[in-house]
Structure 1
Protein backbone atom coordinates (compact mmCIF):
# COMPACT_ATOMS: atom_id res chain seq x y z
CA UNK A 1 0.00 0.00 0.00
CA UNK A 2 1.36 3.42 -0.96
CA UNK A 3 1.66 6.28 1.49
CA UNK A 4 -0.96 8.25 -0.46
CA UNK A 5 -3.46 5.40 -0.40
CA UNK A 6 -3.00 4.90 3.33
CA UNK A 7 -4.05 8.49 3.96
CA UNK A 8 -7.29 8.29 1.99
CA UNK A 9 -10.16 9.67 4.10
CA UNK A 10 -13.18 7.58 5.00
CA UNK A 11 -15.94 7.73 2.41
CA UNK A 12 -19.26 9.40 3.19
CA UNK A 13 -21.01 6.16 2.24
CA UNK A 14 -19.15 4.18 4.89
CA UNK A 15 -19.98 6.75 7.57
CA UNK A 16 -23.66 6.65 6.60
CA UNK A 17 -23.73 2.84 6.62
CA UNK A 18 -22.24 2.73 10.11
CA UNK A 19 -24.66 5.41 11.32
CA UNK A 20 -27.66 3.57 9.85
CA UNK A 21 -26.66 0.47 11.81
CA UNK A 22 -26.42 2.42 15.06
CA UNK A 23 -29.83 4.02 14.50
CA UNK A 24 -31.35 0.59 13.87
CA UNK A 25 -29.82 -0.86 17.05
CA UNK A 26 -31.01 2.10 19.14
CA UNK A 27 -34.60 1.63 17.95
CA UNK A 28 -34.40 -2.10 18.65
CA UNK A 29 -33.16 -1.51 22.20
CA UNK A 30 -36.22 0.62 23.01
CA UNK A 31 -38.60 -2.35 22.97
CA UNK A 32 -36.44 -4.18 25.53
CA UNK A 33 -37.41 -1.53 28.10
CA UNK A 34 -41.10 -2.58 28.04
CA UNK A 35 -41.53 -5.34 30.60
CA UNK A 36 -44.31 -6.59 32.85
CA UNK A 37 -43.59 -5.71 36.49
CA UNK A 38 -44.49 -9.20 37.73
CA UNK A 39 -46.24 -12.45 36.87
CA UNK A 40 -50.04 -11.90 36.60
CA UNK A 41 -52.13 -14.63 38.22
CA UNK A 42 -55.08 -14.46 35.80
CA UNK A 43 -56.21 -13.14 32.43
CA UNK A 44 -57.85 -10.17 34.10
CA UNK A 45 -54.71 -9.34 36.05
CA UNK A 46 -52.66 -9.59 32.87
CA UNK A 47 -55.05 -7.26 31.07
CA UNK A 48 -54.84 -4.74 33.91
CA UNK A 49 -51.04 -4.85 33.85
CA UNK A 50 -50.98 -4.39 30.08
CA UNK A 51 -53.26 -1.36 30.35
CA UNK A 52 -51.19 0.11 33.19
CA UNK A 53 -48.12 0.01 30.97
CA UNK A 54 -49.51 2.85 28.82
CA UNK A 55 -46.66 5.21 29.89
CA UNK A 56 -44.20 2.68 28.45
CA UNK A 57 -46.14 2.48 25.19
CA UNK A 58 -46.30 6.27 24.89
CA UNK A 59 -42.62 6.78 25.74
CA UNK A 60 -41.65 4.00 23.34
CA UNK A 61 -43.68 5.50 20.49
CA UNK A 62 -42.27 8.98 21.02
CA UNK A 63 -38.68 7.71 21.26
CA UNK A 64 -39.01 5.52 18.15
CA UNK A 65 -40.33 8.48 16.19
CA UNK A 66 -37.61 10.74 17.59
CA UNK A 67 -34.85 8.34 16.54
CA UNK A 68 -36.54 7.91 13.17
CA UNK A 69 -36.72 11.68 12.76
CA UNK A 70 -33.03 12.12 13.59
CA UNK A 71 -32.12 9.30 11.19
CA UNK A 72 -34.20 10.90 8.43
CA UNK A 73 -32.63 14.33 8.88
CA UNK A 74 -29.18 12.76 9.22
CA UNK A 75 -29.75 11.26 5.76
CA UNK A 76 -30.91 14.63 4.43
CA UNK A 77 -27.83 16.29 5.89
CA UNK A 78 -25.39 13.83 4.34
CA UNK A 79 -27.02 14.26 0.95
CA UNK A 80 -25.08 17.54 0.87
CA UNK A 81 -21.87 16.43 2.62
CA UNK A 82 -19.25 15.26 0.15
CA UNK A 83 -16.15 14.96 2.34
CA UNK A 84 -15.36 13.46 5.73
CA UNK A 85 -12.54 14.39 8.08
CA UNK A 86 -11.54 13.35 11.58
CA UNK A 87 -13.43 16.05 13.45
CA UNK A 88 -16.65 15.36 11.51
CA UNK A 89 -16.31 11.69 12.47
CA UNK A 90 -15.98 12.69 16.13
CA UNK A 91 -19.08 14.88 15.98
CA UNK A 92 -21.01 12.08 14.29
CA UNK A 93 -19.95 9.63 17.01
CA UNK A 94 -21.15 12.06 19.70
CA UNK A 95 -24.51 12.36 17.93
CA UNK A 96 -24.82 8.57 17.71
CA UNK A 97 -23.88 8.27 21.38
CA UNK A 98 -26.79 10.52 22.32
CA UNK A 99 -29.11 8.43 20.15
CA UNK A 100 -28.05 5.10 21.67
CA UNK A 101 -28.43 6.59 25.18
CA UNK A 102 -32.10 7.42 24.55
CA UNK A 103 -33.52 4.00 25.64
CA UNK A 104 -32.37 4.71 29.22
CA UNK A 105 -34.22 8.04 29.76
CA UNK A 106 -37.18 6.51 27.91
CA UNK A 107 -37.32 3.74 30.52
CA UNK A 108 -36.80 6.20 33.39
CA UNK A 109 -39.67 8.41 32.17
CA UNK A 110 -42.05 5.50 31.60
CA UNK A 111 -41.36 4.04 35.05
CA UNK A 112 -41.74 7.41 36.77
CA UNK A 113 -45.10 8.10 35.12
CA UNK A 114 -46.21 4.53 35.84
CA UNK A 115 -45.54 4.74 39.59
CA UNK A 116 -46.38 8.48 39.72
CA UNK A 117 -43.16 9.36 41.53
CA UNK A 118 -40.36 11.50 40.19
CA UNK A 119 -42.09 12.04 36.86
CA UNK A 120 -41.14 15.73 36.65
CA UNK A 121 -37.45 14.98 37.12
CA UNK A 122 -37.70 12.11 34.63
CA UNK A 123 -39.35 14.36 32.02
CA UNK A 124 -36.66 17.02 32.42
CA UNK A 125 -33.94 14.36 32.21
CA UNK A 126 -35.49 12.99 29.01
CA UNK A 127 -35.69 16.48 27.55
CA UNK A 128 -32.09 17.35 28.41
CA UNK A 129 -30.86 14.21 26.63
CA UNK A 130 -32.68 15.47 23.54
CA UNK A 131 -31.18 18.93 23.98
CA UNK A 132 -27.68 17.45 24.07
CA UNK A 133 -28.42 15.32 21.00
CA UNK A 134 -29.72 18.40 19.20
CA UNK A 135 -26.54 20.30 20.05
CA UNK A 136 -24.41 17.50 18.59
CA UNK A 137 -26.60 17.35 15.46
CA UNK A 138 -26.27 21.08 14.87
CA UNK A 139 -22.55 21.04 15.65
CA UNK A 140 -22.16 18.40 12.94
CA UNK A 141 -23.99 20.52 10.37
CA UNK A 142 -22.30 23.77 11.39
CA UNK A 143 -18.85 22.22 11.11
CA UNK A 144 -19.59 20.77 7.68
CA UNK A 145 -21.41 23.80 6.28
CA UNK A 146 -19.69 26.95 7.59
CA UNK A 147 -17.46 28.16 4.79
CA UNK A 148 -18.93 25.29 2.72
CA UNK A 149 -16.10 23.29 4.29
CA UNK A 150 -17.30 19.76 3.48
CA UNK A 151 -20.32 20.35 1.25
CA UNK A 152 -20.85 19.67 -2.42
CA UNK A 153 -22.71 21.64 -5.07
CA UNK A 154 -26.16 20.31 -4.13
CA UNK A 155 -26.66 23.26 -1.79
CA UNK A 156 -25.57 26.90 -1.86
CA UNK A 157 -23.89 28.70 1.07
CA UNK A 158 -27.07 30.74 1.59
CA UNK A 159 -29.22 27.59 1.71
CA UNK A 160 -26.78 25.94 4.12
CA UNK A 161 -27.00 29.00 6.39
CA UNK A 162 -30.81 28.86 6.28
CA UNK A 163 -30.67 25.23 7.38
CA UNK A 164 -28.38 26.16 10.28
CA UNK A 165 -31.12 28.47 11.52
CA UNK A 166 -33.98 26.00 10.98
CA UNK A 167 -32.23 22.99 12.49
CA UNK A 168 -30.76 25.22 15.19
CA UNK A 169 -34.23 25.73 16.63
CA UNK A 170 -34.27 22.08 17.69
CA UNK A 171 -32.28 22.28 20.95
CA UNK A 172 -34.23 25.41 21.93
CA UNK A 173 -37.65 23.81 21.54
CA UNK A 174 -36.43 20.62 23.25
CA UNK A 175 -35.39 22.81 26.17
CA UNK A 176 -38.91 24.28 26.23
CA UNK A 177 -40.33 20.74 26.28
CA UNK A 178 -38.04 19.85 29.18
CA UNK A 179 -39.29 22.93 31.04
CA UNK A 180 -42.88 21.81 30.45
CA UNK A 181 -41.89 18.55 32.14
CA UNK A 182 -41.48 20.50 35.39
CA UNK A 183 -45.24 20.98 35.27
CA UNK A 184 -46.45 17.76 33.61
CA UNK A 185 -44.53 14.77 32.23
CA UNK A 186 -47.44 13.74 29.99
CA UNK A 187 -47.80 17.28 28.60
CA UNK A 188 -44.07 17.23 27.89
CA UNK A 189 -44.46 14.03 25.86
CA UNK A 190 -47.40 15.51 23.95
CA UNK A 191 -45.24 18.53 23.13
CA UNK A 192 -42.54 16.21 21.78
CA UNK A 193 -45.15 14.67 19.47
CA UNK A 194 -46.01 18.11 18.12
CA UNK A 195 -42.33 18.80 17.54
CA UNK A 196 -42.00 15.51 15.69
CA UNK A 197 -44.78 16.48 13.30
CA UNK A 198 -42.75 19.60 12.45
CA UNK A 199 -39.28 18.08 12.22
CA UNK A 200 -40.42 15.16 10.09
CA UNK A 201 -40.91 17.77 7.37
CA UNK A 202 -38.02 18.33 4.98
CA UNK A 203 -36.76 21.75 6.09
CA UNK A 204 -34.16 22.01 3.35
CA UNK A 205 -34.64 25.01 1.05
CA UNK A 206 -36.52 24.24 -2.16
CA UNK A 207 -35.00 25.25 -5.42
CA UNK A 208 -37.21 26.45 -8.24
CA UNK A 209 -37.22 24.08 -11.18
CA UNK A 210 -35.21 25.31 -14.11
CA UNK A 211 -37.47 25.68 -17.13
Structure 2
Protein backbone atom coordinates (compact mmCIF):
# COMPACT_ATOMS: atom_id res chain seq x y z
CA UNK A 1 0.00 0.00 0.00
CA UNK A 2 2.82 2.41 0.85
CA UNK A 3 4.56 1.59 -2.44
CA UNK A 4 1.38 2.29 -4.37
CA UNK A 5 0.94 5.56 -2.46
CA UNK A 6 4.54 6.54 -3.24
CA UNK A 7 3.82 5.94 -6.93
CA UNK A 8 0.75 8.20 -6.94
CA UNK A 9 2.61 10.92 -5.05
CA UNK A 10 5.59 10.67 -7.41
CA UNK A 11 3.37 11.05 -10.46
CA UNK A 12 1.46 14.00 -8.97
CA UNK A 13 4.62 15.86 -7.96
CA UNK A 14 6.19 15.27 -11.39
CA UNK A 15 3.12 16.49 -13.27
CA UNK A 16 3.47 19.89 -11.59
CA UNK A 17 6.26 20.95 -13.91
CA UNK A 18 4.10 20.20 -16.96
CA UNK A 19 1.89 23.12 -15.92
CA UNK A 20 4.78 25.52 -16.62
CA UNK A 21 4.50 26.27 -20.33
CA UNK A 22 7.51 27.83 -22.12
CA UNK A 23 7.07 31.27 -23.72
CA UNK A 24 5.82 31.29 -27.31
CA UNK A 25 7.78 34.40 -28.23
CA UNK A 26 11.45 33.42 -28.14
CA UNK A 27 12.54 36.78 -29.53
CA UNK A 28 12.06 38.17 -26.00
CA UNK A 29 12.84 34.96 -24.16
CA UNK A 30 14.25 36.46 -20.97
CA UNK A 31 11.19 38.66 -20.50
CA UNK A 32 8.92 35.72 -21.27
CA UNK A 33 10.66 33.49 -18.75
CA UNK A 34 10.48 36.21 -16.08
CA UNK A 35 6.77 36.64 -16.75
CA UNK A 36 6.25 33.02 -15.74
CA UNK A 37 6.97 33.82 -12.08
CA UNK A 38 3.40 32.96 -10.96
CA UNK A 39 3.91 29.46 -12.36
CA UNK A 40 7.28 29.16 -10.60
CA UNK A 41 5.75 30.30 -7.31
CA UNK A 42 2.81 27.90 -7.51
CA UNK A 43 5.17 25.09 -8.54
CA UNK A 44 7.63 25.57 -5.66
CA UNK A 45 4.95 25.94 -2.97
CA UNK A 46 2.95 22.94 -4.14
CA UNK A 47 6.03 20.78 -4.76
CA UNK A 48 7.30 21.35 -1.22
CA UNK A 49 3.84 20.79 0.27
CA UNK A 50 3.44 17.50 -1.61
CA UNK A 51 6.91 16.60 -0.34
CA UNK A 52 5.61 17.14 3.18
CA UNK A 53 2.60 14.97 2.45
CA UNK A 54 4.97 12.21 1.31
CA UNK A 55 7.23 12.56 4.36
CA UNK A 56 4.33 12.61 6.83
CA UNK A 57 2.71 9.69 5.04
CA UNK A 58 5.86 7.64 5.68
CA UNK A 59 6.14 8.84 9.28
CA UNK A 60 2.56 7.77 9.91
CA UNK A 61 2.70 4.40 8.18
CA UNK A 62 6.09 3.55 9.68
CA UNK A 63 4.15 3.17 12.92
CA UNK A 64 1.18 1.28 11.50
CA UNK A 65 1.66 -2.47 11.79
CA UNK A 66 -1.29 -3.54 9.64
CA UNK A 67 -4.20 -2.01 7.76
CA UNK A 68 -7.79 -2.98 7.22
CA UNK A 69 -10.34 -1.99 4.59
CA UNK A 70 -11.17 1.25 6.39
CA UNK A 71 -7.54 2.42 6.29
CA UNK A 72 -7.25 1.33 2.65
CA UNK A 73 -10.36 3.33 1.75
CA UNK A 74 -9.25 6.45 3.64
CA UNK A 75 -5.79 6.25 2.07
CA UNK A 76 -7.40 5.98 -1.38
CA UNK A 77 -9.39 9.16 -0.73
CA UNK A 78 -6.17 10.85 0.41
CA UNK A 79 -4.46 9.83 -2.84
CA UNK A 80 -7.41 11.18 -4.81
CA UNK A 81 -6.75 14.59 -3.22
CA UNK A 82 -3.05 14.38 -4.02
CA UNK A 83 -3.74 13.55 -7.68
CA UNK A 84 -5.92 16.68 -7.86
CA UNK A 85 -3.06 19.02 -6.91
CA UNK A 86 -1.54 19.62 -10.38
CA UNK A 87 -4.89 21.08 -11.45
CA UNK A 88 -5.03 23.25 -8.31
CA UNK A 89 -1.51 24.50 -9.02
CA UNK A 90 -2.41 25.40 -12.60
CA UNK A 91 -5.48 27.35 -11.43
CA UNK A 92 -3.43 29.27 -8.84
CA UNK A 93 -0.70 30.18 -11.35
CA UNK A 94 -3.24 31.32 -13.95
CA UNK A 95 -5.13 33.46 -11.42
CA UNK A 96 -1.98 35.21 -10.21
CA UNK A 97 -0.77 35.76 -13.79
CA UNK A 98 -4.09 37.19 -14.99
CA UNK A 99 -4.74 39.19 -11.82
CA UNK A 100 -8.26 37.77 -11.57
CA UNK A 101 -9.76 35.12 -9.33
CA UNK A 102 -6.85 35.08 -6.88
CA UNK A 103 -9.13 34.69 -3.86
CA UNK A 104 -10.87 31.67 -5.32
CA UNK A 105 -7.57 30.12 -6.40
CA UNK A 106 -5.91 30.52 -2.98
CA UNK A 107 -9.00 29.15 -1.23
CA UNK A 108 -9.00 26.21 -3.65
CA UNK A 109 -5.36 25.44 -2.90
CA UNK A 110 -5.74 25.87 0.85
CA UNK A 111 -8.91 23.76 0.89
CA UNK A 112 -7.21 20.97 -1.07
CA UNK A 113 -4.36 20.74 1.44
CA UNK A 114 -6.74 21.11 4.39
CA UNK A 115 -8.79 18.20 3.03
CA UNK A 116 -5.67 16.03 2.81
CA UNK A 117 -4.66 16.93 6.36
CA UNK A 118 -8.16 16.07 7.51
CA UNK A 119 -7.63 12.60 5.99
CA UNK A 120 -4.30 12.31 7.84
CA UNK A 121 -6.07 13.11 11.10
CA UNK A 122 -8.87 10.65 10.46
CA UNK A 123 -6.49 7.83 9.51
CA UNK A 124 -4.26 8.46 12.54
CA UNK A 125 -7.26 8.72 14.88
CA UNK A 126 -8.63 5.45 13.54
CA UNK A 127 -5.40 3.46 13.95
CA UNK A 128 -4.45 4.89 17.33
CA UNK A 129 -7.83 4.13 18.91
CA UNK A 130 -7.16 0.46 18.24
CA UNK A 131 -3.58 -0.35 19.25
CA UNK A 132 -3.65 -3.62 17.31
CA UNK A 133 -3.07 -1.59 14.14
CA UNK A 134 -0.09 0.29 15.60
CA UNK A 135 3.44 -1.09 15.64
CA UNK A 136 5.48 -1.43 18.82
CA UNK A 137 7.91 1.21 17.52
CA UNK A 138 5.98 4.08 19.10
CA UNK A 139 4.77 4.73 22.64
CA UNK A 140 1.86 6.83 23.86
CA UNK A 141 4.02 9.98 23.97
CA UNK A 142 4.98 9.54 20.33
CA UNK A 143 1.36 8.93 19.35
CA UNK A 144 0.34 12.13 21.13
CA UNK A 145 3.18 14.12 19.47
CA UNK A 146 2.12 13.04 15.98
CA UNK A 147 -1.53 13.74 16.83
CA UNK A 148 -0.71 17.29 17.95
CA UNK A 149 1.28 17.96 14.78
CA UNK A 150 -1.56 16.76 12.55
CA UNK A 151 -4.20 18.76 14.46
CA UNK A 152 -2.10 21.93 14.32
CA UNK A 153 -1.90 21.56 10.54
CA UNK A 154 -5.70 21.73 10.34
CA UNK A 155 -5.73 25.09 12.14
CA UNK A 156 -2.72 26.41 10.20
CA UNK A 157 -4.11 25.58 6.76
CA UNK A 158 -7.60 26.79 7.65
CA UNK A 159 -6.11 30.12 8.77
CA UNK A 160 -4.16 30.50 5.53
CA UNK A 161 -7.24 29.62 3.49
CA UNK A 162 -9.44 32.16 5.25
CA UNK A 163 -6.78 34.85 4.98
CA UNK A 164 -6.52 34.07 1.27
CA UNK A 165 -10.20 34.85 0.96
CA UNK A 166 -9.52 38.33 2.34
CA UNK A 167 -6.01 39.00 1.00
CA UNK A 168 -4.63 36.38 -1.43
CA UNK A 169 -0.88 37.20 -1.05
CA UNK A 170 -1.16 36.86 2.73
CA UNK A 171 -2.97 33.56 2.38
CA UNK A 172 -0.23 32.20 0.11
CA UNK A 173 2.43 33.44 2.56
CA UNK A 174 0.78 31.71 5.54
CA UNK A 175 0.38 28.46 3.62
CA UNK A 176 3.99 28.70 2.42
CA UNK A 177 5.18 29.30 6.00
CA UNK A 178 3.71 25.89 6.74
CA UNK A 179 6.58 24.35 4.74
CA UNK A 180 9.69 24.97 6.92
CA UNK A 181 7.89 24.24 10.19
CA UNK A 182 6.49 20.91 9.09
CA UNK A 183 9.84 19.67 7.84
CA UNK A 184 11.05 19.76 11.45
CA UNK A 185 11.17 16.34 13.15
CA UNK A 186 8.39 15.33 15.49
CA UNK A 187 10.05 15.35 18.93
CA UNK A 188 8.24 12.41 20.53
CA UNK A 189 8.61 10.19 17.49
CA UNK A 190 12.33 10.91 17.07
CA UNK A 191 13.02 10.36 20.78
CA UNK A 192 11.56 6.87 20.55
CA UNK A 193 13.79 6.05 17.58
CA UNK A 194 16.87 7.18 19.50
CA UNK A 195 15.94 5.00 22.48
CA UNK A 196 15.55 1.98 20.21
CA UNK A 197 18.96 2.64 18.64
CA UNK A 198 20.50 2.98 22.08
CA UNK A 199 19.12 -0.39 23.15
CA UNK A 200 20.44 -2.05 19.97
CA UNK A 201 23.91 -0.57 20.51
CA UNK A 202 23.92 -1.75 24.12
CA UNK A 203 23.30 -5.31 23.02
TM-score with structure 1 setting the length: 0.86
Q: Would the aligned equivalents of 1:59 and 1:189 in 2 still touch at CA under 8 Å? A: no
Shift of 1:193: 2.1
Provide the aligned C-alpha RMSD in A: 1.7
- After superposition, residues 81-100 of structure 1 pair within 5 angstroms as 81-100=64-83
Q: Would the aligned equivalents of 2:156 and 2:175 in 1 still touch at CA under 8 Å? A: no
Greater CA radius of gyration, 1 or 2?
1
Given the alignment, which residue of 10, 21, 24 partners 1:39?
24
- 2:119 is aligned to 136
Distance of 1:131 and 1:149 partners within structure 2: 28
Shift of 1:49: 1.8
Distance of 1:154 and 1:196 partners within structure 2: 26
Distance of 1:53 and 1:186 partners within structure 2: 17
Number of aligned residue pairs: give it. Answer: 194
Deviations 1:148-198 (A, max 9, x none): 241011112343133212211112211111112123323222222211111
Q: Would the aligned equivalents of 1:145 and 1:157 in 2 still touch at CA under 8 Å? A: no
Distance of 1:186 and 1:102 partners within structure 2: 19
Given the alignment, which residue of 44, 51, 55 partners 1:72?
55
- After superposition, residues 102-141 of structure 1 pair within 5 angstroms as 102-141=85-124
- 1:199 is aligned to 182
Shift of 1:127: 0.6
Distance of 2:68 and 2:136 partners within structure 1: 18
Larger fraction in helix? 2
Q: Would the aligned equivalents of 2:145 and 2:186 in 1 still touch at CA under 8 Å? A: no
Structure 2 regions of 5+ residues with no counterpart? Answer: none
Distance of 2:141 and 2:186 partners within structure 1: 14
Instruction: Give the 3-state SS of the residue equivalent to 1:201 in structure 2.
Output: coil
**Are 2:2 and 1:16 aligned?**
yes
Given the alignment, which residue of 7, 15, 25 partners 1:29?
15
Post-superposition, which runs of at least 4 consecutive aligned residues in structure 1 deviate over 6 A?
none
TM-score with structure 2 setting the length: 0.89
